Amino acid sequence: MKLAGKTAIVTGGGRDIGRAVAVKLASEGANVAVNYFASSAGAEETVAQVAALGRKAIAIQGDLNNPADVERLIAATVSKFGGIDVLVNNAGGLVARKTIAEMSLEHWREVMDLNLTSTFLMVKACLPHLTSGTIVNIASQAGRDGGGPGAIPYATSKGAVMTMTRGLAKELGPAIRVNALCPGMIDTDFHNIHTPDAARKGFEAAAPVKRQGVPEDAANLVLCLARDDSAFITGANIDINGGMLFS
C-alpha cells in the first residue's frame, strides 16, 4: 500500500487505460477522482471497481478544454479528499485520420486541444494543491515516429506532451516529478476504432513479445512512476510498445 492516504486524479478514467490506471492506483491505497467527458456509465463502473478494493472514488464529468470544468474537477477532488498527490493526464484521442491536404484548421485545433491544451490546463489548475507528488502524462509512440497514416495532428500533439514533460520536470522539481508513457499498440477502443485488424495482426507478428499490449501493462508502469520507487526518475518519456521501437 505505497499510495495509502494519497489522492489521484485520472482523466479519461471511464475506460481502457484510464480505468486500469485508476484501479491500479487504488490497489496500492489511493483514493481516486475519475474524470470523464461522455462515458458516465463507464466512469461509474471505474468508481465501483475502486470501491470494491476498499478505496474511495468519485466520478466528475468535464470538458478538459474548458477552464471552468477543469476548475470544477479540481475543486471537487480537493473538497472530497483534501488534496492532490498524483495527476494522470490520460484524456486524449485522434478523432479521425485525415491527411494534411484534406484537413481543416478546425480539425487540427480540435486534436491539439484534446491532447495538449487539456494537459496544460490540468497541470496549471492542480499546481496550487499538488505541492509535492507526481504527474504522469500519457503521450504516445506516435510522438516519436510520427504516427500512422492521417495522424499528423495526433503525433504532433503527443510529441509536444513529451516536450512539456521534460520542461515541467525542470520547472516543478524537486517537489514534483513529471514523467510520461509512450504507449504503442495497446488493445483499447482507440485501436478498435482507428486501426485495421490487419495492421494489429501484423504488429503481433513483428513484435518481439508477439502480442498487443493491454491496459494493465500501461497501468503497471503508471503505478511505478507514481510511487516513490521511481524517486530518481523525472522528465522521462518511457516507451511501452512490446519492443517495436527503441529510443
Q: Residue ranges of the domains in the chain?
A: 7-240
Return the sign of the alpha-carbon dihedral for residues 93, 99, 102, 105.
Answer: positive
Coil, strand, or helix at residue 163? helix
Q: Is 36 a catalytic residue?
A: no
Q: Would you state the pLDDT for residue 138?
A: 98
pLDDT in tens, the chain (247 residues): 999 999 999 999 999 999 999 999 999 999 999 999 998 999 999 999 999 999 999 999 999 999 999 999 999 999 999 999 999 999 999 999 999 999 999 999 999 999 999 999 999 999 999 999 999 999 999 999 999 999 999 999 999 999 999 999 999 999 999 999 999 999 876 666 767 788 888 888 899 999 999 999 999 999 999 999 999 999 999 999 999 999 8
Of 36, 154, 190, 203, catalytic: 154
First to last CA, the chain: 32
- Which residue type occupies 113? D
Q: Would you state the pLDDT for residue 203?
A: 81
Q: Note whether 19 and 8 are within 8 A (CB).
A: no
**Which residues face 180 on adjacent strands?**
137, 237
- Which CATH number is 7-240's, of 3.90.79.10, 3.40.630.10, 3.20.20.60, 3.40.50.720? 3.40.50.720
Coil, strand, or helix at residue 173? coil
Q: Note whether 72 and 120 are within 8 A (CB).
A: no
d(CA 242, CA 78): 37
Q: Would you state the pLDDT for residue 91?
A: 97
Report residue 196 as a C-alpha cell: 485495421
Q: Note whether 33 and 73 are within 8 A (CB).
A: yes
5: left (phi over 0), alpha (psi -120 to 50) or beta: left
Return the sign of the alpha-carbon dihedral for residues 91, 95, 100, 104.
Answer: negative
d(CA 197, CA 208): 19
- Using CB atoms within 10 Å of the CB of residue 68, give its burial: 0 to 12 exposed, 13 to 18 middle, 19+ buried: exposed
Centre a 10 Å sphere on the Cβ of residue 144 and count the other Cβ atoms it contains: 20
pTM of structure: 0.95
Q: Considering only CA atoms, which of 75, 74, 76, 66 is closest in space to residue 117?
A: 66
Coil, strand, or helix at residue 237? strand
d(CA 62, CA 60): 6
